[in-house]
Homo-oligomer: A and B are copies of this chain.
C-alpha cells in the first residue's frame, strides 16, 4: 500500500520539455512496485484527472479504491533541470486539492502487510499508520522542509518505522553529521532498523545496525528525466521485499536479500530516467528488469 501525491508535472531537461504529464511520488512508487507485487494506492486528485491516466494505473494492476477524486484541480508541479541534471529548480507548486489531503483508508486496505509512505507531512504519515492493523513493514520518505520545520513531528513519526529513505544531504541535515557513516548511525538511532541513503547518479547505500551495503549508480547513455527516480527506487526496493515475502525484522531477511532489494530499487530508478515522466513504465517488462539486474551483477562483481 502506497500513500502520497498523484500529480501532474511540467518538466524541462536538456533533452526536452513536457508541459503536463502524470507524476507524483505515489504514482512513481506504485508503478515501480507494481512490477513485483499487487499495489493499492491512497491519494487525492481533482476532477481534471485524465481517465487515460486512471486507465494506465489500472492496467498495471494498481488498486485505485483509495484514490479519492474531489472537485478542483490535481496537484501541479513544474521544474527545470540544470545541464548536468544534478540540480533542479522548482518553478511552480500548486497544491490544489492536495492541500486538504487527509488520507482515510478504505476498509479493504487496513490489513495490508507493506506500507510505504511518500513524502508528505509527517503527521499525515502517522495518521495513515494508525489506521492500519496488521502491518508487518512501514517505511517512507521525507525531505529537508519537514526536517527543518517539523523536526519533532518527524522524529515521532519515523520512530516506529522499519525503513527510512532519504538522500545524502537530508541524512546530514537530519543527523547534524557531515560524515555519512556517522550520519547513518545517528539516523538509525532515531528508530528505523533500515536506512537507505540515495545519492542520485552515484547510487545508493543501505545501513542497518550490523551491516551496510553500497551500490554505484547505473550508467545510462542518456538521462532523459530524473524526476521520480528516488520514488521508483523505493517502489522497487519494497516491491521486491513484498514479492519475496520478506520484511525487515532481523530474523525474516538475510543480508543477501536485503542487498538484492537495493539492486532492484536501483534498477527501477535507472529505468525511470530513460524517458520523460512515467513513460518508461508503459513498455517495461520483467525480462528487461531481470536483464538489468544481471548487468548490475556484471559491473560490480569482483
Contact = CB atoms under 8 A, between A and B. Distances in A.
A300 interface: yes
Interface in A204-237: 205, 211-216, 219-223
A127 interface: no
B212 A219 contact: yes
A300 B299 contact: no
Nearest to A257: B302
Nearest to A14: B178
Contact of A300 (B178, B202, B213): B213
A45 interface: no
Interface residues of A, number: 33
Interface string A275-302: 0000000000000000000000111111
Nearest to A217: B214
A37 B71 CA distance: 74
Copies of this chain:
2
Interface stretch (A25-33, A46-54, A93-101, A258-266): A258-266
Contacts of A83: 178
B182 A214 contact: no
B178 A84 contact: yes
Given A199-B202, A202-B202, A300 B215 contact: yes
Given A84-B178, A179-B222, A221-B181, A260 B216 contact: no
Contacts of A300: 213-215, 300, 302
B178 A213 contact: no
Nearest to A300: B300
A80 interface: no
A180 interface: yes
Q: Is the interface of A mostly helix, strand, loop or mixed?
A: mixed
B179 A221 contact: yes
Interface string A247-262: 0000000001001101
Interface string A112-150: 000000000000000000000000000000000000000
B302 A262 contact: yes
A24 to B, nearest CB: 28
B202 A302 contact: no
Nearest to A296: B302
Nearest to A293: B302
Given A180-B219, A297-B302, 19 more contacts: A84-B178, A179-B221, A181-B220, A181-B221, A182-B221, A199-B202, A202-B202, A202-B203, A202-B216, A211-B298, A213-B302, A214-B219, A214-B299, A214-B300, A215-B302, A216-B216, A256-B301, A256-B302, A260-B302
